[in-house]
Chain A
Amino acid sequence: MSTKHKSIGEDLWKTRTDKINAELFAFTYGALVVQLIQDYEDYAEVNKQLELMGYNIGIRLIEDFLARSSLGRCTDFKEVGEVVAKVGFKTFLNVVPSITHAATSKNPLAEFVELPEEALDGGLWFSNVFCGVLRGCLEMVQMQVEAKFLSDVLRGDETTEVKVTLLRHLEEEMPAGDD
């Protein structure tokens, strides 16, 4: 099962994904975070905005993913994690985060980043956009999740870890009753 996802992810990355220069991507994201910090002057608010942006990316990214991967519905949340890590992350970022074990997988957003003192004190989660992307993508396939950072090497932690909790499955909508 896991090798199947691994090979799907690799195939999608190699054949069906347009590539962008990694430095350009990292610099663009960094400039965006800096701008948000200047605009909001409050790290908690910046975290929130990054998550919201991620959400708006996520609700679109999932369509892109579904269109190119043709994968069926996952049977349980464990499989969701597998598909997100081995196929999703691989297809769009060419990295495969580890699911249960804490391991330092390179974070393409944070490659050139060193956080200043006040950002560390202020509680900035630099890559918080990932949490929003996960929330947006999964909500569109009827899963309400909470995604948050537990640790970040940018903050001096040993690993970069995001925790995704399934809150509930969203019911399929029924049409409104007769007028």
Chain B
Amino acid sequence: GIDWNPFDALYTELFAWRHCACIYYQDWHRTKRPKPAAEGNILPGVSSAISSRPNSHPEPPSRSAFSSPRSTLQSNSGVAVAYQESSTSGQGKTPTPSSSGLPFDEEAKLVYGVVSSLRNMIKKLSGRDETFVTYKTSTYRLHLFETLSGYKFIMLSDPHSDSMRFVLRQIYSGPFIEYVVRNPLMDMDSKEHGIDNEHFRNATDRLMRNLSVFQ
């Protein structure tokens, strides 16, 4: 489940999808940490915050995104043991270490399932060129931006937020082009690996924090 907390009006989650698999995840101001995905259910390189961890490690204390020079620490086995945590807005509370109900891979699958079903339904109703762009429930709003090349950027936000499609478009034409497309070491068309990298994550973070809605 996706929990909405009235003190957390700036809650935001970002997913990127390619070839029907989740290739990237980032969030801001979630009250509860997403539960790590079960082993093998999520591609490597999506987000160190939700990778499966075979051993249980105590969660590190939260650090401000701007003070830490490195956003992740890797153990020898390549499993992330610490991750960048965007601190909640200044109500003075630290995020609780408890997890939300669903493991991340199931949450992602649900999100994609809804999006996929709605897209197919709209196409049947209205034809190839129409696509749905947003829906809203009592607890969140979902925004979809899809490129002609098959990348789907999905954002979940506070239900009272305005359309975030322009933000998704800015993430695509800004950080994504600069740090994923133009990085020769990033595999563009991989079905086995996500697109998480430090520059992309930080640039997206900066873009989000600079939005007037966060100020």
Contact = CB atoms under 8 A, between A and B. Distances in A.
Given A73-B129, A73-B148, A175-B20, A63 B116 contact: no
B147 A63 contact: yes
B207 interface: no
Contacts of B20: 173-176
B173 A59 contact: no
Contacts of A72: 129, 148
A95 interface: no
B209 interface: no
B203 to A, nearest CB: 14
> Which interface class (under 10, 10 to 19, 20 to 34, 35 or more) fits B?
10 to 19
Interface string A47-66: 00000000000011011101
Nearest to A137: B149
Given A59-B189, A60-B182, A63-B177, A175 B112 contact: yes
Interface in B154-186: 172-173, 176-177, 181-182
Contacts of A142: 150
B121 interface: no
Contact of A66 (B19, B112, B129, B149): B149
A141 B147 CA distance: 9
Nearest to A59: B188
Given A64-B181, A174-B20, A175-B112, 13 more contacts: A64-B182, A66-B147, A66-B148, A66-B149, A67-B173, A68-B173, A72-B129, A72-B148, A140-B189, A141-B148, A142-B150, A173-B19, A175-B116
25 contacts: A59-B188, A59-B189, A60-B181, A60-B188, A63-B147, A63-B149, A63-B177, A63-B188, A64-B177, A66-B147, A67-B172, A67-B173, A67-B176, A67-B177, A72-B129, A72-B148, A73-B129, A140-B150, A141-B148, A141-B149, A142-B150, A173-B20, A173-B150, A174-B116, A175-B20
Interface of B: 19-20, 112-113, 116, 129, 147-151, 172-173, 176-177, 181-182, 188-189
Interface of A: 59-60, 62-64, 66-68, 72-73, 140-142, 172-176
